[in-house]
Chain A
């Protein structure tokens, strides 16, 4: 029974970490690392609504995160705001809204630690199937359009001349990122999910100068962190998200020292 739970959590974690590693490359290269924090915290408003109405599904968190990410993208593209400022406005709104709604709900505090820091016991078969579907679509999306995103990140004007619909791809990237982050919350938690948007590329950059190497090393280090973190969390009886992130930070530190020494 317990091995079923570990297996489910590991499958979900591995699939999401591969996808997040590819997205992490563009998030870091485009200096959008705050985006993960913003989107994950935006989901908090949706999770609070889940509590309020007694639901357990993804509908409210997904709705909140996707709406938040599209609004962030819109404010940046059309509202003459920096991405960081746009994220900050949406992020604080969602958190305030979430806390406000939670205060109206009864008995929420027992589950709060799992939402904030992840809980492998909460990963169900449905989560695994959903993650597999999202991974398949997201992986094809990111690998098919990798060189398009590469050109957009290099210079948007050149991408426009090359006939790329920059706005469409920009919004789609944020939507896919929102879905992946919401799916990651059960395993990693709201507070720590951003680690999977930053650390893969940081570890990759310590081990390789080339984008292919950075993405590959990022994915391998993410998978290692998830697997080792889940086992450690099980044996030490600690929150999964925090344990996984601590393993990841250790890998990053080792890669950093290896690069400097």
Chain B
């Protein structure tokens, strides 16, 4: 259980998050929506203890987040925003997937057979197992992002926090990605918190939705929220929502099949 209580974060005297309170239960798949600058990334960083609030608290399983991270950091899988990862490192995909498993004298290290099998398995889940020995800087942005998702899974995390996982990922794989995440949440009772700009997909796949714009405007079951009103409140009154369904009859790529 993740419990955020009266969380307020301030940067240079500007309030970025204002009195946020929420609870996320074990195994829930939560989507966080909001416009640019709404504080979505700051919220997930606060949940990870990366940002320190001026007021309020974050507890995971009843323990303050900093203490939880010290004791159980490996139980959290985290996908940071695509742009803040150093993709120019001279490492292979297998090294990138294993990079969080720090060990003394790591420069002389060889991976065990079970570690290699685990890397191969998670790369195959995200459809990039054929890239295992390629260098990360030579991959496309979407492939790099899938490698990062495989890295997140290497600890079999109880909590998975994804900051815009669909950045650079193509539309077709996006749908598959949400399906994989939904499956992980359901089968492994994994708590997933996902920041996304993909409103249509988020409303379709997640269990709970949070609409954020400095304040928490809504938090509820995916089907229980009147979205047109809330999203207009969060994004502004010019917001227009068009929901695309899979197999859309008017979509170009489906016309050939008909």
Contacts and interface: CB of A to CB of B under 8 A. Distances in A.
A77 interface: no
A209 B89 contact: no
B45 A161 contact: no
A17 B225 CA distance: 64
B102 A29 contact: no
A135 B107 CA distance: 17
A157 B78 contact: yes
> Which secondary structure dominates chain B's binding surface?
loop
Contacts of B84: 155, 157
B107 A212 contact: yes
Interface stretch (A42-50, A92-100, A114-122, A143-151): A143-151
Contacts of B107: 22, 143, 146-147, 212, 215
Contacts of A162: 73-74, 100, 102
Contact of A154 (B50, B96, B105, B106): B96
A27 to B, nearest CB: 14
A147 B109 contact: yes
Contacts of A108: none
Contact of B105 (A146, A151, A160): A146
Interface residues of A, number: 29
A208 B91 CA distance: 11
A154 B78 contact: no
Contacts of A148: 102, 106
Contact of A161 (B76, B92, B104, B108): B76
A147 B103 contact: yes
B69 interface: yes
Contacts of A150: 89, 91, 99, 102, 106
Contact of B102 (A147, A208, A209): A147
Interface of B: 45, 48-50, 69-70, 73-74, 76, 78, 80, 84-86, 88-92, 95-96, 99-109, 135
- 8 closest Cβ pairs, A-B complex: A147-B106, A146-B107, A147-B102, A146-B106, A161-B73, A163-B73, A211-B90, A155-B85
